[in-house]
Structures are given as C-alpha cells and as structure tokens.
Amino acid sequence: MKAFAVHPLLVALRDAIAFEPVGEPVGNLTIGRGAFDRRPLHVAIVEGKTASGSLGTAECQQLAGLFEIVAEERSGLVVFLDSAGARVSEGLRALGAFRSLYRAGLNAAFSGAPIAMALGRNCFGGASMLAHLAPQRLFAQNTQLAMSGPSIIASAMGADPQDEMFRAMSEASMSPAARVKASPANDLWKEGDDLAAWLAEALAQRGDAASALRLRHEALELRLDKRTAARPWESVRRRDLEKIYEKYEARESDGFVMGQGTRASEGESFAGIVGRNPLGAARAWRFADAVWKMCDQPPKRLEVLLDCATHAARLDDERIVLTEYIVDMGFALSALARRGTQVGLMVLGKAGGGVYVALAAPAQSVTSVYGADIQVLPGAAVAAILGQSTESTPSFQEYLAAAVADEELKLGIIPGTQ
C-alpha cells in the first residue's frame, strides 16, 4: 500500500503552532492542541487519508463538539482542511451530521472566537463552507476550493474534464491565485514561507461578528454580474402556500419568493428558494440580502421555504466563489435568529447538499412536506462520485432518523407543484 503523503502546508503549520494530538484520530479527523504567541489553541486537522478526506458521521460529531467548546470559551482555533466534503457514501446520515456540524460552526463564528483556516489540496462542497466560517483562509499552491469539483462542473457543461480548454477555464476560475484575487481574506502560501505573520493576523481578536459578516455580505454584491438584471417582482399563487396558510400574499422573482402569511391565526414572514433551476450566486445573494435587512426590524417568525435540489455547477458562479454566497445565507439566518426571530425551514419539494445545510443549520426546526425529496446530492452528482445513484425518495422516518427533518406536514398535494 502506498504511504500517505502529508501536505507540506500541514507540516509547516504543525511546526508553527507546536501541534500535539489529543486522543486517537477519528477517520480523517485529528483533534489536538497547540500554541501561538504564548496563547493556547485548539486544533483540528482533516486530511485526505480515505475517501478524499470526506467527513462522515463520526468526524462531524467530533468536529461539532470542538466547535461547541470554542464557542463557549471564545478560544482560538486553527483548522487544516483537505476534504471533498460530506461523505456521500453514508447517505442521509452524513447530511444530518453535517447539518449539526455546521450549526456548531456558525455558533463558533458568531461567538467571536478567533478561527484560522489553512487549506490543503481539496476543499469542495461542505468543506469549502466550513472554510468560510473563518474571517481568513490560507491557500496552498495546489488548493482547489469550490462548491463543485471540476469533474462535476465538466459533466454539467457536457465537457470532458481532461479537455485542455476546459482545464484552462477551470484553472483561470478556481486556481489559488484566482481565489486570492477574488477576496482580500484569502492568502497564498508558498513552500518555505513563514506562517507567523498569517497566523498573527488570522487569530487576531475582532469586534462584533454580526457587523463584520454583514459587511462581508455587502462586499459580495460587488462581484455579481451587473449585466443581467433580476426580473421584476410578480404576485404569485401557489397550491402549497394555499394549503400552508389561511391567507397569504407572495411575490416571486427568478425563483426567489417572499411574502407574509397567517398560520394557526398567527402571522409570519416567509422567504424561499424555489423552482427547477440550481441555486447560483445571484439568487443566493438576493435571499441573504432580504434576511440581513430583516435584522433591522426582526419579525417574530420567519419560515424559509425550499424547493431547490442543488447549487449551480457553473464556472461563472465558481469564478466569483459560489461558496461565499451560499455561506452568506446561513450567516444571515443565524444573525436574524440571534435577534430573536424564530427561524424554521420547510422543504416543499427537492433539497440537498450545501443549499440544504446553509438553510437548515440555523433553523430551529426543519419540516418536510409529505413526499419531499431530501438527498445528500442529486443522483447525477452521486453517480459522478460513487459510480452509482438512486432515484428513490426516502421516507420521513428515514429523514427523522438521520436528523435531516424534525417533523412532517401533509398537504394533500404533490410537493413542489404550484
């Protein structure tokens, strides 16, 4: 068996913080302690030892526990990530575990604890979302960070991932140099570089986390393509909303819906991602923008509606770092919940992957409409990763057991129909 090669950045990082493991590794995860500038640190190392460093149920539980400690103590945390994201082979259990992990990560981010993220070769899907919990990230020269890997993007484009033209476009969009150019929060490490200056900045104490995250949201608007304006709002009637609410008013634009409704004689706001199109950066930003604005006058309750199977696998979205826009939705909902709003998520039809996690992690409860289809990833993406997929819809009992949904709502209609 070929020996596992430790990434050069990890070697340098372990030396810089005097890393010591605590306990035995759990799958791809090793937890330990270190120190920098005479300050003790918690440390988490995720390596690509098996299944491309994917995070299964066991790793998610351990890492969630560490995030909880960091949030409570407001102590420093250094994370090394070399991971393809959630372990698809574990199915719904991995998705439910990642929901809990991401919720703990959001709490750590809002606690104001100093968090530094150093990235290895792979940082895809949920791993890329974890990377953006930190104010700053350090890329190695061979780091690949994206919501979708090049093979999945190529498949969506109908291209050969080995085609020279596709590889050139992918490199121009997603290389470490491109990521550093996209955001001042990203830095590039070259072998032999001293890590002290980056660690000092990344672990510096910061002010109010919610204010800083809202500024991050506003900066994301500057990256969006201004050439395509959003369609005007239109009043809409949907069969599912007719069943959910005693009365309601809703408007929609490009698969983003907002409105007010009355349920059990109590009023509530709702906002959602609906429609057949995968979620791109522009629609994610509009959702987050609406929620951030609600923080100024928080409603008593916000129901988040979801009928969107996955995020977009497009180079145009990855060029502006799609992960940041998806993460921004979770930050906005967490900020609103911290202002006292009761946040719920209702899955009307299809849901899965990072879109589901970003919306489900901050929610106090997740409701699946009878017949809703929650998957780790769409069948085509699963097939691209595992070489096989299933098109069957799990039962609510499976959702409940995996902790991806907490209750079921029967409307008497086919989910996702208007």
Convert the pLDDT of each residue in 33-68 to its tens digit. 999 999 999 999 999 988 889 999 999 999 999 999
DSSP states of 137-159 as a string? EEE-TT-EEESS-HHHHHHHHT-
Domains 8-206 and 234-409 share a fold: yes
Convert the pLDDT of each residue in 239-278 to its tens digit. 999 999 999 999 999 999 999 999 999 999 999 999 889 9
Convert the pLDDT of each residue in 278-312 to its tens digit. 999 999 999 999 999 999 999 999 999 999 999 99
Give the pLDDT band of residue 414 (cuts 50, 70, 90). Answer: low
Domain-wise residue ranges, the chain: 8-206, 234-409
**Are the CB atoms for 263 and 244 separated by under 8 Å?**
yes
**Nearest by Cα to 278 from 320, 322, 223:** 322
Structure-block tokens of residue 245 = 């609410």
Query: H or E segment at 77?
Result: strand 76-83
Convert the pLDDT of each residue in 133-157 to its tens digit. 999 999 999 999 999 988 888 888 8
pTM summary value? 0.94
Task: Report the range of poorest mean pLDDT among 226-235, 275-284, 400-409.
Answer: 226-235
Rounded CA gap, 293 and 285, in Å? Answer: 12
pLDDT-above-90 percentage for the chain: 82
What's the confidence (pLDDT) of residue 227? 78
Q: In the CATH scheme, what is the code of domain 8-206?
A: 3.90.226.10
Class of domain 234-409: alpha beta
Query: H or E segment at 107?
Result: helix 92-111
What is the CB neighbour count within 10 angstroms for residue 239? Answer: 14
Structure-block tokens of residue 191 = 């072998």
Task: Read off the pLDDT of each residue in 79-84 and give the average, rounded to a whole number.
Answer: 96
**Are the CB atoms for 56 and 87 separated by under 8 Å?**
yes
